[in-house]
Amino acid sequence: MKKIINPWKDLEGYNCFGCAPNNEAGVKMEFYEDGDEVVSIWKPRPEYQGWVKTLHGGIQSVLLDEICGWVIIRKLQTTGVTSKMETRFRKSVSTTDSHVVLRASIREQKRNIVIIDAKLYNEAGEVCTESVCTYFTFSQEKSEKEMFFHHCDVEQEEILPLI
């Protein structure tokens, strides 16, 4: 896997709840490219629980929506917005798990509409949550002018993230 370089990391005012590394309240996701998939390994924290020792469903949805957005950013080299998200919670996720793994990839693309499949796995590798996100993608011009996006690269060396 290759680590995806966050193209906004040095942009003043960048404070995304999902992926900004300096947002103290955020989930601070990082992403990797693994073939056709974008992958994230994330460590649950107790402040994101719903029920006792259970990861809040809203936080799970944030994680899945965010990784789908990064599929657009990396694989299509543009930006966009979520227009629909269908999420199925199959198994609870413990906030005591050492990590969860998220994987997402493009299922279908028709012009500027992209459908992305995403899954969240617990530390045992079991599918806990699944989402299908429909994204409306922006033109290159809008991505550059309004989203300050030019391109999204990966680091040159293959790495194995520490889990």
What tens digit of pLDDT does each residue of 57-106 get?
999 999 999 999 999 999 999 999 999 999 999 999 999 999 999 999 99
Q: How confident is the model at residue 156 (pLDDT cuts 50, 70, 90)?
A: confident
Range of the domain at 38: 2-147
H-type helices in 77-155, by residue range?
140-147
21 lies in a domain? yes
For residue 162, the model assigns a pLDDT of: 63
Residue 108 predicted with pLDDT over 70: yes
Question: Residue 111's CB: how many other CB atoms inside 10 A?
Answer: 6
Alpha helices in the chain (DSSP H): 57-76, 140-147
Q: Is residue 161 part of a domain?
A: no
> What is the arithmetic mean of pLDDT over 113-142?
97
Does 140 reside within a domain? yes
> For the chain, what is the mean pLDDT?
95
Contact call for residues 138 and 79 (beta carbons, < 8 A) = yes
Within a domain: residue 155?
A: no
Residue 158 lies in a domain: no
Residue 158 pLDDT grade (very low, low, confident, very high; cuts 50, 70, 90)? confident
Q: What are phi and psi of 151, to 5 degrees?
A: -170, 165
Query: What pTM value is reported for the model?
Result: 0.94
Residue 108 in domain: yes
| Mean pLDDT across 117-134 | 98
Tell whether 152 is covered by a domain: no
**Residue range 39-50: average pLDDT?**
95
> Domain containing 69 — which CATH number?
3.10.129.10
Q: What is the pLDDT of residue 163?
A: 63
Which pLDDT value is given to residue 159? 78
Residue 15 domain-assigned?
Answer: yes
Number of domains in the chain: 1
| pLDDT score at 122 | 97
Give the separation between CA 91 and CA 68, rounded to whole angstroms.
20
pLDDT of residue 93: 97
Give me the pLDDT at residue 107, please: 98
